[in-house]
Structure 1
Amino acid sequence: MHPILFIVFLPLAAALIAGLGGPWIGKTAAKLITTGALFAGALLSWPIFFEYIAGNGQPMVVPVLDWIHSGTMTVDWALRVDSLTAVMLVVVTTVSSLVHLYSWGYMEEDPGQARFFAYLSLFSFAMLMLVTADSLIQMFFGWEGVGLASYLLIGFWYYKPSANAAALKAFVVNRVGDFGFSLGIFGTFLVFGTVSIPAILGAAPGMAGSTIGFAGMRVDTMTLLCLLLFVGAMGKSAQLPLHTWLPDAMEGPTPVSALIHAATMVTAGVFMVCRLSPMFEAAPIAMNVVTWVGAITCIFAATIGCAQNDIKRVIAYSTCSQLGYMFFAAGVGAYGAAMFHLFTHAFFKALLFLGAGSVIHAMHHEQDMRYYGALRKEIPITFWVMVIGTLAITGVGLPGLGFAGFWSKDAIIESAWASGSVAGTMAFWLGVLAALLTSFYSWRLIFLTFYGDARWAASEHIQHALHREHDDPGEEHGDSAHDPRPVPTGTGGYHPHESPLTILVPIALLALGALAAGQLFHNIFVDAERAPEFWRQSIAFSQHLAHAAHEAPLWVKLSPTIVMLIGLWIAWNNYIRRPGAADAFVGYFPGVYRFVANKWYFDELYDVIFVRPALWLGRLFWRGGDEGTIDRFGPHGFAYAVGIGNRIAYRFQSGYLYSYALVMLLGLIGAASWAIWWAQ
C-alpha cells in the first residue's frame, strides 16, 4: 500500500474520531490522535520529497475508488504523486503537525479542544485532497473542503459576534471566487471533454489560438478558461479585489491563522496556477493579468501592513503581499520561483504567526503593539525566533549565504526583470518597493514589541489580568509581587512569562526552516540545470527564463538587499532613534495615514456597492413582496376571508326554524333557476 494513502486519510480518520468521539475519549486522547496522525503524515512525506530530490521519484497515480460516471464524464478518485505534490505534502503535513503541537499549549484552557483539533485535522485532510488531485473535480472537492474547514475554524469561538461575522465574510467572499473557479471547470470540460488534469494539460498547447463563444462574443478559449480559473485563485489566495476576508480571519485562534491563512490554504491558488501552468502558458493575456494582479496586490497589502497596530493583522497583510509575489512570479512564467517562495514562506510565516501567538499568550491576549515594548528580556526565546522570522521575510543574506526569503523572494524579483515584458518590468519595480515596505513593517513590529519602554500598564487586558491575579494569586501568570525580577516602569506591576514548551518547540523547529530552507533547496527549485530534473514536467519550467534570471545585472540582484536596509533604517529611525518621528509623520500627512490605516476603504466601498443595495433589495422583497404581497393575499388573506365569511354566516344562525326554511327555499329557487337557464 502506497504511503500517500496513509498521509491523506490518517487526518480524516483522526478528525472523525476526535470530532464524533470527543465526549467519550476526552480531550487528551483527541489531541494525541489528531497530532499523532499529522506527525505520521509528515514522517512519511519527507522521504517522498527527498526521493524526488535524488531523482529517483517517478510520477504516479494511486487509485482509490470509482467515483463519478455520468454520460461522457468519468471521474475516478485517485491520488496523483509527482514533484509538485511532494513539495505540497511536505508543506502541509509539516506545518499542520507543528500547529497541532503548538495548539496543545495555546488552547490548553479552552473547553472545546476536541472540537478544535477535529477541525484542524479536517482542514489538513481537505488540503491534502486538493494537492493530490488527479482531476479538476477532485481538486474542487478539496478546494471546498478547506473553505468549509476555514469557516469552522475562523468562527470557532462562536460566542463572539466578531468571529461569526469574520467566518461569514470569509465564506461569502470565497463563494465569489469559487463561482468563477466552477465556471472554469465547466468550460474546461466543455472544451476538452474531460476533467482529468494530465489529459487537459497534454491537450492545452493544441488549443492555443482557438476561440469560443462567451456572453455573445467570440473570445480566446484558453484566455477565458484561465481567467475563470484564476478568479478562484484570487478568492482563495486573497488577491485584490477578493482580499477583504483575510485580515478579518484573524478573529480565529492564532494556530488557525498560522495553519490556514499563512502556510497552506491561502497558497492553494498559487498551487492551482502552477499545477495548470501548461494551460496558462497557452494564454499569454491571462498570464499578464496574473502578473498585474499579483504585483498590485503585493504593493497594496504592504502599504496597509505599515499602518496596522494589531500584531496579527500586520502579519496577515504581510501574507497577502507575499502571495502577490508568488502570483506575479507565476505570471511571468517563473513557476519554480513561485513554488520556492511558497515553500520557504510556509516556514517563516507560520513562525511569525505562532511567535505572535506566544507574545499574545505572554501579554494576556493583548494584540495591540502600542501596549507592548521592552519584551525582549521578558520572553527571550520568543524574541529570538521572531527575529529569525523577520530576517527571513525581509530577505537578509549575502551571495551564497542567507535566510529563506533571501533566496526565494530574490529569485522572483530577478525572474520578473528577466522576463523582459512590460508586465514583468512593472512587477519588478513594484516588488522592489514592496520589499522596502516589508522590511519597514516587519522591523516596526519587532521594535514596537520588544524594544523601547514598557507600555503594558495602558492595556485593558493587562489590567484585567492584574485584577485576576490580585483576586486569585494561583492564576496562570502567578502573582507578580513574588517575581524576583525588577519591575520595569510602565508595566503596572505585570510580568510577562515565557510560553510553555508545547508552544516554544514548534516555533523553534519552524525557525530552523526559516534559517535553512532557502539555503538547502534553492538549486532544486530554480536552478536552470538541476530544477528541470526535479520538476519533471509537473510544472512548465522555463530553462531560458531561469538562465536569464541568473544572468541578471548586479544592480538587479542587489536591489532587494538595498531596499531591505533602507526599510530597516526607516523603522529604526522612527521607533528607536526618534520614537516620536512616526507620530510626527502622521501629523504631517493625516489623510495618507487614514487612507492606508483604513485599508484603502475597500470594506467601505464594498459596503456601499454591494452590502447596502443587497440589504435594500432584501427589505424590499421581504416587506413588499413577502409580507405585502404573498402573505397579504396568500395565507393571511385567506385567513381574513375565512374570518369575514364566518361573521356573515354567523348572522344566519338565528336558531329559528322558519329562518332556516327560508334559506333552504331560496337555495332551491336559485338552483332551479340555474338549471332552467342552463337547459335553455
Structure 2
Amino acid sequence: MNLLFLTFTFPLIGWLLLSFSRGKWSENLSALIGVGSVGLSALTTAFLIYQFNVNPPEGGVYTQVLWQWMSVDGFAPSFTLYLDGLSLTMLGVVTGVGFLIHLFASWYMRGEDGYSRFFSYTNLFITSMLFLVLGDNLLFLYFGWEGVGLCSYLLIGFYYSNRNNGNAALKAFIVTRIGDVFMAIGLFLLFQHLGTLNIQELMVLAPQKLVAGDTWLWWATLMLLGGAVGKSAQLPLQTWLADAMAGPTPVSALIHAATMVTAGVYLIARTHGLFLLTPEILELVGIVGAVTLVLAGFAALVQTDIKRILAYSTMSQIGYMFLALGVGAWDAAIFHLMTHAFFKALLFLASGAVIVACHHEQNIFKMGGLWKKLPLAYASFIVGGAALAALPFVTAGFYSKDEILWEAFASGHTGLLYAGLVGAFMTSLYTFRLIFIAFHGEAKTEAHAGHGISHWLPLGVLIVLSTFIGALISPPLAGVLPESFGHAGGEAKHSLELSSGLIAIAGIALAAVLFLGKRRFVSAVANSGPGKLLSAWWFAAWGFDWLYDKIFVQPYLLITRLLGNDPINSSIGLIPRLVRLGNSLMSRTETGNLRWYSASVAGGAVLLLALLLILN
C-alpha cells in the first residue's frame, strides 16, 4: 500500500516533462511519456487493488501522510492520501479508463498541432483528479477540484485559434467556478462550526456537535450541493457541458466518462454523513437529478451533432447518479458511476473514430450507411448504446440503472422512480436514433476505417467492459457507505426489472419505426408548427442559455457600459488633468523675453507685499 503515492506521481512527472519540452519532441516520444505515465499509474492501481483484496488494511482504510501543508492557528491540513473502498473504486476508474482514453488519443491526435501540449494537459488532468479522490481532507480535495477545473478550461479550448472554442472554454470555467464558490462557502461554514476539514473527523463531529436539521449544517450541505451540480453539470449549472464538445473528442471522453463530471457524485458520496443529517438537502439532490435526467433526455432527442447527443446523455446519466444519492442508494450511485465510465468512454471514443473516418464531419444527418465501412465503430455503438439504454441482462448499464430504480421504489420515492422510467425510455429512443441515422440508411459521405493497436485495443476492452462482464466488477463499498433500502427485493424487484427492460426495448423499437427508412412521419411532425416549436426549444436545451443571457450576462454588460465613465474614475482622472493644465499654463510663461520675465518678477513681488500688508 505504500506505493499509493505513485498513482499520481507518474502522471505528474509526465506533465512536467511534456510541459518543459516546449513541443520540440517527436509525437512518438510525447505519446510514450503521456500514455506511458498514465499506464504506469494504472498498473500501480491494479497492484493496489490486488493488495487491498488479498491483504486488506486494518479497518479497510489505509492512509499515507506525504507532508504537512500548512499550520495556521490550529488549522494544520496535510497532504495525506486516504484509501478505502470508495476511493479505490474511483482510483480504478480514473486510471484504468483514463489510460484507455490516453491510448486512443495517441492515435486520434496524430498530426495535430500541439500534440505534446495535449498530453501535458491530460496528464495534469489525471493528477488533479487523483488528488480529488485520494485527499483525506476537504481542502486537499478542493485543490484537486480546482485543478480539474483549470485543465478542463485548457482542454476544451485546446483549439484556441477558433474563437468559439475559446468561448466554450471560458463558459465552462465561469459556470463551474460559480459552483466552486458555493463549495468554498460550504467549507468555510464547516470549519467555522466543526473546527476541521478532515473528512473522517467531520463525519464523527457533525452528529456530535450539530443536531439533525441544524441551520448552519443545512446551509453548508446546500453549498456543497452547489459545488457538486456545477462540476457534474446538473440543474441549474448544466449549461457548460454541451459546449464543452468544442475540445478534441478524447477530451470529451475524459471529462464525461472518467473524471470531471463524476466529481460531484463522489463529493456527495464521500460526505454522506453530513447529508444524512440534512434530509431536506438530500431530497433536493434526488429531485435535481430526476429533473436533469428528463430534461437532458428531451434535449438529446433533437440534436444533430454526434458529440452533443452523447453530452446530453452524460448529463442525463449523472442525473441518475444524483437520483440514487438522493434516495440513499449510495452503492448504486457509485456502481452506475463505474459502469457509465465504461460505456460512455466507449461511445465517445467510437464517435471520435467516426468523426475521423468521415473527415471531421459531426452531423449525423450527413453520415448514413456507415455500418459496413466502420464495423468496429458500429459494434462499439451497438454495445455502448445498448448499455446506455440498459438493455436487459446483457449490458452493464442494465444492472446499475436497475439498481437505482429499485432503490427509488424501495425507499418510497415513487415520483423519482417515474422520472427514472421516463428517462430510461428517452435514453433508448435518442441513443438508437443516433445509431440508426448515422450507421444505417443511405451513405452520404466517404468513410475510411482507422487502423492500429492504439485505435482498436481501447475500443475492444471497453466493449467487453460495457457488457454484463463489466457489471461483475463489484465496488468494495461495504462498510464505507451506509446500507441502502433495497438489498432484498424478491418478486417486486423482478417485476420492476421486467418493466424497465420492456421500457428500454420499447424505446429501441420506436426508434426503429421512426428513424429507419424514409422517416416521413418524423419529418412531417418536425415540420409542423408545434413540432418546429418543440424542436427549437429542445434543441436549445430548454432555453437555459437564453434565460441566463437575459438575466445575468446582458445586465452585467449594461453595468459595465454604465460604469465605463463612472464618477470615481472621473474624479481620480481629475487630478492628472489638473496637473497637465497647470503644466500647460506654466509652459506658456517660458517665452524667452527678458522684459516679460522682469515684469513677472516685479508683479510677483508686488503680490507678495500686498499679501503681507493684508495679513498684517
Which band: TM-score by shorter chain?
over 0.9
Structure 2 SS opposite 1:535: coil
Aligned with 2:410 (options 409, 418, 435):
418
* 1:192-246 CA-partner distances (Å, limit 9, x unpaired): 10111110011222345367xxxxxxx6232211111110001000001100100
- Structure 2: distance between partners of 1:644 and 1:674: 23
Matching residue within 192, 195, 198 for 1:196: 198
Aligned-residue sequence identity (percent) comes to 36
What's the offset of the Cα at 1:60? 1.3
1:99 to 101, 120, 123: 101
Task: Name the CA distance, whole Å, in 1 between partners of 2:340 and 2:428.
Answer: 15
Distance 1:107 1:63, change over 3 A: same
Task: Find the counterpart in structure 2 of residue 111 from structure 1.
Answer: 113
2:570 equivalent to 1:575: no
Aligned to 2:386, what secondary structure does the other structure show?
helix
- Matching of residues 68-79 of structure 1 within 5 Å: 68-79=70-81
Q: Residue 547 of structure 1 aligns to which amino acid in structure 2?
A: H
Q: In the alignment, is residue 263 of structure 1 matched against residue 258 of structure 2? A: yes
Q: Distance in 1 between matches of 2:572 and 2:363?
A: 51
Deviation for aligned residue 1:303: 0.7
Assess if the C-alpha contact under 8 Å between 1:411 and 1:549 holds in 2. Answer: no
Cα distance, 1:554 vs. partner? 4.0
Q: Quickly say closer, same or farther: Cα 1:570–1:360, change in 2 above 3 A.
A: same
1:409 match:
401
- Partner of 1:309, secondary structure, is coil
For the 8 Å contact 1:10–1:38, the answer to whether it is kept is yes
Q: Deviations over 1:555-574 (max 9, x none)?
A: 32222212111211111011
Q: 1:607 pairs with 536, 543, 549, which one?
A: 549
User: 1:238 pairs with 233, 237, 259, which one?
Assistant: 233
Residues 592 and 639 of structure 1, relative CA distance in 2, 3 Å threshold: same
1:672 corresponds, among 605, 609, 612, to: 609
Kindly indicate whether the alpha-carbon contact (under 8 Å) linking 1:207 and 1:221 is maintained by their aligned counterparts in 2: no
CA contact (8 A) 2:425 2:503 kept: yes
In 2: Cα distance, 1:226 partner to 1:238 partner: 18
Q: Which residue of 1 aligns with 2:375?
A: 380
Counterpart CA distance in 1 for 2:55 and 2:426 is 39
Deviation by residue 1:58-80 (Cα, 9 ceiling, x = unmatched): 30110100111011211011100
* Partner residue, 1:176: 178
Following TM superposition, by how much is the alpha carbon of 1:500 offset from its aligned partner in structure 2, in angstroms? Answer: 3.7
Amino acid at match of 2:597: Y
- The residue that corresponds to 2:461 in the other structure is 509
**Distance in structure 2 (CA, Å) of the matches to 1:115 and 1:626:** 44
The residue aligned with 1:598 is 540
User: 1:185 aligns to what?
Assistant: 187
Other-structure match for 1:477:
none
AA aligned to 1:43 is L
Letter in 2 for 1:257: S
Q: Is the 8 A contact 2:411 2:486 kept in 1?
A: no
Deviations 1:453-487 (A, max 9, x none): 1122xxxxxxxxxxxxxxxxxxxxxxxxxxxxxxx
Secondary structure of the 2:34 match is helix
Distance of aligned partners of 1:618 and 1:351 in 2 relative to their CA distance in 1, 3 Å threshold: same
Contact 1:201 1:276 in 2 (8 A): yes
Q: Kindly indicate whether residue 347 of structure 2 is the aligned counterpart of residue 352 of structure 1.
A: yes
Q: Is 1:585 aligned with 2:525?
A: yes
- d(CA) in 1 for partners of 2:411, 2:492: 10
The answer to whether the 8 Å contact 1:69/1:75 transfers is: yes
Between the aligned partners of 1:626 and 1:129, the Cα distance in structure 2 is: 44
Query: Are 1:449 and 2:449 counterparts?
Result: no
Match in the other structure for 1:166? 168
Scaled by the length of structure 2, the TM-score of the pair is: 0.95
1:576–1:150 CA distance, 2 compared to 1 (3 A): same
In structure 2, the CA distance between the partners of 1:149 and 1:517, relative to structure 1 (3 Å rule), is farther
User: Counterpart amino acid of 1:592?
Assistant: L
**CA contact under 8 A between 2:4 and 2:48: conserved in structure 1?**
no
- Residue deviations 1:388-431, cap 9 Å, x none? 10111111123xxx3110000110011111111xxx22111011
User: For residues 50 and 283 of structure 1, do their structure 2 counterparts lie closer, same or farther at Cα, with a shift above 3 Å needed?
Assistant: farther
Letter in 2 for 1:359: V
Which stretch shifts more, 554-563 or 88-97?
554-563
**Residue identity in the other structure for 1:503:** H
Verify: 1:121 aligned to 2:116, yes or no. Answer: no
SS, match of residue 63 in structure 1: strand
Deviations 1:585-626 (A, max 9, x none): 212322112111121111111111111111111111124457
Give matches, 1:242-253, under 5 Å. Answer: 242-253=237-248
* Shift of residue 317, structure 1, vs aligned partner: 0.3
Distance 1:626 1:372, change over 3 A: farther
Give the equivalent residue in structure 1 for 2:593: 655
User: 8 Å contact 1:395–1:406 — kept in the other structure?
Assistant: yes
Contact preservation (8 Å) 1:448, 1:575: yes
Give the 3 Å change call, closer, same or farther, for CA 577–640 of structure 1 in structure 2. Answer: same
Partners of 2:22 and 2:597 in 1: CA distance:
72
| AA matched with 2:501 | T
Task: String of CA shifts for 1:534-555, please: whole Å, max 9, x gaps.
Answer: 424322333xx03355664543
Structure 1 stretch displaced more, 591-600 or 298-307: 591-600
> Structure 1 residues 65 and 318 mapped into 2: Cα distance closer, same or farther (>3 Å)?
same
What CA deviation, in whole Å up to 9, does each residue of 1:22-44 have, x standing for no partner?
A: 44543322211121111111112
Cross-structure match for 1:18: 18
Q: 1:552 to 1:22 in 2, by over 3 A?
A: farther
Give, as a single letter, the amino acid of the residue that structure 2 aligns with 1:568.
I
Taking the aligned partners of 2:299 and 2:80, their CA distance within structure 1 comes to 42
Partners of 2:256 and 2:342 in 1: CA distance: 13
Aligned residues: 612
- Match of 2:135, SS? coil
Match of residue 284 from structure 2: 289
CA gap of 1:266–1:450, structure 2 versus 1, over 3 A, is same
Residue type of the alignment partner of 1:609: I
Tell me the equivalent position of 2:7.
Answer: 7
Give the alignment of 1:543-562 within 5 angstroms: 545-547=485-487, 552-562=492-502
The equivalent residue for 1:474 is: none
Letter in 2 for 1:569: A
- State whether structure 2 residue 240 is matched by structure 1 residue 302: no
Give the structure 2 partner of residue 44 of structure 1. 44
* 1:4 counterpart SS class: coil
Paired with 2:523 and 2:433, the residues of 1 have a C-alpha distance of 13
Find the aligned partners of 2:147 and 2:467 in 1 and give their Cα distance. Answer: 32
Secondary structure of the residue that 1:127 maps to in structure 2? helix
Q: How does 1:457-536 map to 2 (within 5 A)?
A: 494-521=446-473, 524-525=474-475, 534-536=476-478
Which is further off, 495-504 or 70-79? Answer: 495-504
- Equivalent in the alignment of 1:538: 480
CA contact (8 A) 2:359 2:447 kept: no
**Aligned with 1:397: secondary structure?**
coil
1:207-246 aligned within 5 A: 207-209=209-211, 220-246=215-241
Match of 1:133 in 2: 135
After superposition, the CA RMSD in angstroms is 1.9
Following superposition, the deviation at residue 53 of structure 1 comes to: 4.9
Distance 1:603 1:433 in 2: 24
Amino acid in the other structure paired with 1:100? H
Q: Distance in 2 between matches of 1:408 and 1:51?
A: 26
Within the candidate set 564, 570, 576, 1:622 is matched to: 564
Is 1:151–1:167's contact at 8 Å kept on the other side of the alignment? yes
State which drifts further: 545-554 or 93-102. 545-554
Asked if the contact 1:207–1:222 (Cα under 8 Å) also holds between the matched residues in 2, the reply is: no
Deviations 1:367-404 (CA, angstroms, capped at 9, x unpaired): 00010100000011111111110111111123xxx311
